[in-house]
Amino acid sequence: MPTPTAPPPKLLDRLRHACRVRHYSPRTEDAYHDWCRRFILFHDKRHPDTMSEPEVNAFLTHLAVDGHVAASTQNQALSALLFLYQHVLNKPLDRLDGVIRAARPKRLPNVLTPDEVRLVLSHLDGTYRLMADLLYGGGLRLLECLRPRVKDVDFPAGVLVVRDGKGGVDRRTILPRAAGEPLAAHLERVRVLHAADVAAGWGRVWLPDALARKFPSADREWGWQWVFPASRRWRNRTTGVEGRHHAHETAVGREVTRAARASGLSKRVTSHTFRHSFATHLIEAGYDIRTVQELLGHADVSTTMIYTHVLQAGGRGVRSPLDVPPQGPV
């Protein structure tokens, strides 16, 4: 009897596989999957192999004209479709002409003054206060604050190592002295929690790439544990292994929003506002723009230059003529 052959993988499953082979982040993989799915549904479930540049142009134009999406959103959809045709279908797209591009508004980042930062921080307690201290004190993105392992914290050097940041780049940033003692106390509590998990037969953590195969016991080692573990354990549906993931970003964002409202500020405050404030306050203090660029992990200094336009001393430090005292009798 001939052995039955397994059906070929579906297109979107092939897309996910192509993303994982190239070590794309799970968020990028999910975003590409969703955009390709929307592209297929927009064209009445036609297979992308039967479509090409005109259909891609029509979809991208629809996003800008009917969907009113931001320029970054349209660019992400374009990147997903370019990836699909080049790396999954092996049919790279030619020039895409006639696409109506979403306008990219020139907006300045929302920045708090140092006093406003301290006011918001005063309305946060416990672990959320510690997270916010690191967001502002180290200029971290939210996931960069939640994903460090214990081994990435260097107390003597005052350094926090950010692994696999935006663009897959590692970097070193500041570990604020003011957060050192609270963080050390927090890690002692995490160590006790981890020891209890290990004693119960669990205590595992997710490891990147092939480290789980190279070092089978590393997922239980203290150095690989999350600095901010989740309160609940997760279970791998395939293997049945139970462990802890890092804390979820939505809980942090919710607490920051609550603290901002309790502070009575009229400004919109998110977890990313601390990063904007970090960069602006360093430039105000006279630090070199290249140093700030490295701490933020920007690939291009032009991205960091935007903070020179939001300095608190009257835009570019220019004194308003209304503030100049009169010279002589009025």
**Residues annotated catalytic, as ranges:** 141, 166, 272, 275, 298, 307
Task: Count Cβ atoms below 10 Å from residue 119 Cβ, excluding itself.
Answer: 17
Q: What CA–CA distances, in Å, run from 83 to 36, 60, 93, 163?
A: 10, 15, 10, 25
Please give the Cα distance from 83 to 76 (Å, whole number): 11
**Sequence letter at residue 166:** K
H helix runs in 157-202, sequence order: 180-199
Extended strands (E) in 15-141: none
Task: Find the angle CA(288)-CA(293)-CA(295) to the nearest 5 degrees.
Answer: 100
Helix (H), strand (E) at residue 229: strand 229-235
Task: Count Cβ atoms below 10 Å from residue 271 Cβ, excluding itself.
Answer: 23
